[in-house]
């Protein structure tokens, strides 16, 4: 998912061309307090335009934190302008998810995603309860987490290994799609790839990008290859056929396949289908 400050109207067309799976118009950290009103106006203008020019690109809006004075209005404008999803930054409790979901339900909207941004000590501390409240997507925000806990970011990233791992596990348990931390150094491709590969190893399914140049790198790291997709479809077909005969475990390409591998195949196919739909 690729971020851009909502008031940078010039960036909206670039989001669509970037190849990202989804775009995020940011009303929070990327927008100064004095620019919040204008950014909100920009959201109401950009969302319909982007939907028209790129109907397959989901466009999320990152509202300001639930504790801020801007939250309620941000949320209203985003939902009323047709946002595909709402990003809740610095989430600290399940109530924020419920509040956003309540605003979605109130409007009778369906298919609007709630993305929980876990990027504070309280967010990590309550992450299991937050994800149980039902967001469909999340990200782990290393920069803000470390600032909040009073630590220091390092390239090796050992200072966030506990939090980053715990968020990935909680996401998996609650069927929340997990997006990995931002890499601020957007001119350093090697660093991004290194970080994305470890994010994938630890269980993340994608990356938050802050620059279009990061998008193809993320796609390469996280997108299954054609071989993997074909193999996964065959595996699911055989598994489904076996299930009809009451079998839960099958032999496939000389390997015994049980639930973890079936779930992995389902994820690969879900990603492939999502890519097919959005590209």
Give residues in contact with a copy of itself (CB under 8 A): 29, 31-34, 64-65, 67-69, 90, 120-122, 124-125, 128, 144, 146-154, 158-159, 161-163, 165-166, 168-170, 172-173, 197-198, 200-203, 205, 246-251, 256, 258-261, 263-264, 267
Cβ at position 234, least distance to a copy of itself in Å: 17
Considering beta carbons, is residue 38 or 159 the nearer one to a copy of itself? 159
d(CA 178, CA 1): 11
Closest CA to 70 of 46, 52, 88: 88
- From the number of C-beta atoms within 10 Å of its C-beta (0-12, 13-18, 19+), residue 13 rates as middle
Among residues 37 and 259, whose Cβ is nearest to a copy of itself? 259
Specify the residue, 11 or 104, whose C-beta has the smaller distance to a copy of itself: 11
3-state helix, strand, coil in the chain (%, to 5): 55, 15, 35
CB of 108 to a copy of itself, least distance (A): 31
Both tokens of 29, joined, read: 């950290």
């079936």: which residue's tokens?
262
Collapsed DSSP state (helix, strand, coil) of residue 241: helix
Minimum distance from residue 20 beta carbon to a copy of itself (Å): 20
Tokens of 166: 């715990």
Q: Which structure tokens are listed for 97?
A: 């998810």
Nearer to a copy of itself, 39 or 86 (CB): 39
Least distance CB 87 / a copy of itself (angstroms): 15
Question: Of 109 and 249, which has the nearer Cβ to a copy of itself?
Answer: 249
* Helical ranges in 54-138 per DSSP H: 71-80, 94-106, 121-125, 127-132
Q: How far is the CB of 54 from a copy of itself (least distance, A)?
A: 28
């Amino acid at each position: 998912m690729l971020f851009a400050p909502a008031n940078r109207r010039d960036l909206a067309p670039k989001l669509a061309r970037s190849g990202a799976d989804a775009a995020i118009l940011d009303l929070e950290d990327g927008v100064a307090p004095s620019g919040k009103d204008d950014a909100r106006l920009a959201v109401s203008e950009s969302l319909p335009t982007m939907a028209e020019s790129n109907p397959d690109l989901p466009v999320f809006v990152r509202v300001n934190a639930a504790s801020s004075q801007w939250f309620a209005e941000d949320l209203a404008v985003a939902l009323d302008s047709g946002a595909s999803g709402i990003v809740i930054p610095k989430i600290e409790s399940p109530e924020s998810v419920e509040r956003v979901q309540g605003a979605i339900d109130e409007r009778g909207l369906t298919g609007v995603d709630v993305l929980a941004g876990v990027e504070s000590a309280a967010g990590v501390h309550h992450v299991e309860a937050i994800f149980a409240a039902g967001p469909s997507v999340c990200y782990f925000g290393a920069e803000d987490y470390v600032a909040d806990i009073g630590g220091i970011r390092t390239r090796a990233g050992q200072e966030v290994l506990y939090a980053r791992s715990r968020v990935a596990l909680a996401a998996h348990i609650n069927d929340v799609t997990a997006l990995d931390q931002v890499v601020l150094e957007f001119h350093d491709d090697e660093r991004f790839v290194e970080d994305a590969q470890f994010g994938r190893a630890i269980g993340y399914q994608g990356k938050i990008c802050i620059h279009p140049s990061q998008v193809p790198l993320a796609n390469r790291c996280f997108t299954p290859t054609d071989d993997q997709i074909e193999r996964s479809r065959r595996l699911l077909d055989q598994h489904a056929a076996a299930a009809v005969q009451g079998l839960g475990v099958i032999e496939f390409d000389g390997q015994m396949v049980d639930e973890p591998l079936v779930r992995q195949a389902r994820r690969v196919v879900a990603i492939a289908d999502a890519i097919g739909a959005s590209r």
